[in-house]
Chain A
Amino acid sequence: MLLKRIWNDRLAALSLTIVGAMLLIGICAPLIAPHPPNEVNMELRYAGASWQYWLGNDHLGRCVLSRLIYGIRPSVLWVLAALIASVFVGTAVGIAAGYWRGRVDAVLMRLCDIMLSFPGYVMTLAVVGMLGPGLTNILIAFVCLKWAWFARVIRTVILPIAEADYVKFAKVLGASQLWIIVRHVLPIALPEVAVIASSAFGSMILQISGLSFLGLGIQAPHAEWGMMMNEARTVMFTRPELMLAPGIVIMVVVSSVNFLSDSLQKALDPKLMVIRSTNGMKHRYQRKEAALQQ
């Protein structure tokens, strides 16, 4: 149903195809990439496009296309994993805070406040400083920082649901808290959680690439888009395509993710519009704006 509605929107369908293809190509990278991504071939330094190396070769003669393909793994797949982990923690905390309120809420939200009071980049840099640069450490830093933000946003999604009359009625019936959360709270919140998560995905991809560009993320010789751009910096004017290729891929993926997130929201709205009051709608848009600002 939902998929069909997204499919009817051409831009969204295209975005979904791109994101889906990226994920698939990333997972099957060894099968698809024409060359091993770290294979050095000094004779082909800065070679142009050829039938064997479609996008040419970089400063060590490595296949650019293969490196782009392998770059999907840290740039998209691992970011997705970090996103899922932080959304999972954030949802659990958000539900606990929004459903039980009271003291649980106060304690959890103060904890989130503390986490959120550190500027994100500074915290990431601090973690990298302590644990050393590397993809794993950055991902750890991401999960540690993002869960608190997700928890806050998801709590605001849960609050009105936890006060809905059908939840009250289930309580009158003596339903257990697990029953209520699993049947009456979580399913209603999930579409919104999906929207919130997807709108954070794009910015996280950018951040990982940015940090790798600065040399703090994944370490050579592994391929990553941000790092590929950094490596191509010295030949920016003589061989701009080496810099453009990863740049364009990042742009395409991030815009696709953002378009997809937008249409996901649009696709979910007509149904929710009938369920929720207009007031609820306003909150949704405010949340979306907050998500974009993050």
Chain B
Amino acid sequence: MLKVDRISKSYRPKGWLNKAHRKQVLHAISFEWDRGECLGIIGESGSGKSTLGRLLLGIEKPDHGIIAWDGQPITDRNVRQGNISAVFQDYTSSINPFYTVRQAIMEPLKLAGGSPPSFMESYAGKLLQQVGMDESYLDKYPHKLSGGEAQRVCIARALSTGPACIVLDEAISSLDGSVQMQVLELLRNLSDSLGVGYIFITHDIAAAAYLCNRMMIIQDGRIVEMVETKQLKDVQSPYAKELLRKVMA
């Protein structure tokens, strides 16, 4: 279980002569994520979603507060290993251009260590099949993949260490409409079959409603509302109502 306890984050302004105040991006955010759950984090551009995502992934440290996985700090790489993983937005830069699909998928296993090469080879093929691609893609370079294929490879790569939770930061936002839907479906099926849970960061309420059980709406680095997807129509805060109205229109 992931427990986020009153974390805040600020960035120093650009330029070293600039003595302006640090820019507060996140204000005392607290929430919990349970195993197998799919939690949507929704907000407009600049609301601090990606920043929160980086903190959840432990690649940046919060100024205050802690993020703990079963009581252990997420900033410890051993805690992250096999528990949490990630898929990012920009499919053009999500795979090292000099890596084949095989190398990309095997990298997490290599870093984890302990698996023999022959196992990793066959496992890479299996993972690729799980995300609906065949093994002929293993030797391709990323610039030969379409956006949807690249994101599927990224999902396979994220799954390779068998994490309980995958943080998806705008993972479908740069894809075309119909491809978005296919990837969403894939994510849902993977969740059903493998029991993996997601933290789904997006500005797209409709996509989040399709995939998530629960949604957290943030504005300017503060949680505005936490709502079950089933009760989405009954949101209280004006900001959330406004967001919802935009989608309905």
Shortest Cβ distance from B76 into A: residue: A174
Question: Cα distance A184–B103 when bound, in Å?
Answer: 12
Tell me if A130 counts as interface (CB < 8 A to partner B).
Answer: no
Within 8 A of B (CB), among A249-289: 271-272, 274-277
Shortest Cβ distance from B112 into A: residue: A173
Given A106-B16, A275-B97, A277-B92, CB of A174 within 8 Å of CB of B86: no
- Chain B residues closer than 8 Å to A179, beta-carbon distance: 111
A173 touches B96 (CB 8 A): no
A174 touches B78 (CB 8 A): yes
Within 8 A of B (CB), among A60-103: none
A169 touches B98 (CB 8 A): no
Tell me if A187 counts as interface (CB < 8 A to partner B).
Answer: yes
A172 touches B157 (CB 8 A): no
Instruction: Label chain B's interface by main secondary structure.
Output: mixed
Tell me if A166 counts as interface (CB < 8 A to partner B).
Answer: yes
Q: Pick the contact of B97 from A106, A170, A171, A188 — CB < 8 Å?
A: A188
- Chain B residues closer than 8 Å to A175, beta-carbon distance: 111
A173 touches B97 (CB 8 A): no
B80 touches A165 (CB 8 A): no
Tell me if B57 counts as interface (CB < 8 A to partner A).
Answer: yes
Tell me if B27 counts as interface (CB < 8 A to partner A).
Answer: no
B143 touches A173 (CB 8 A): no
Within 8 A of A (CB), among B161-201: 161
A170 touches B107 (CB 8 A): yes
Question: Cα distance A277–B97 when bound, in Å?
Answer: 13
Q: Residues on A close to B: CB < 8 A? A: 106, 164-166, 168-175, 179, 183-184, 187-188, 271-272, 274-277
Return the 3 tightest CB-CB contacts between A and B, nearest first.
Answer: A174-B77, A274-B143, A165-B88
22 contacts between A and B (CB under 8 A): A106-B16, A164-B90, A164-B94, A165-B88, A166-B93, A166-B94, A166-B104, A168-B59, A168-B86, A168-B88, A169-B86, A169-B154, A172-B57, A173-B107, A173-B108, A174-B77, A174-B80, A174-B111, A184-B96, A187-B98, A274-B143, A275-B97
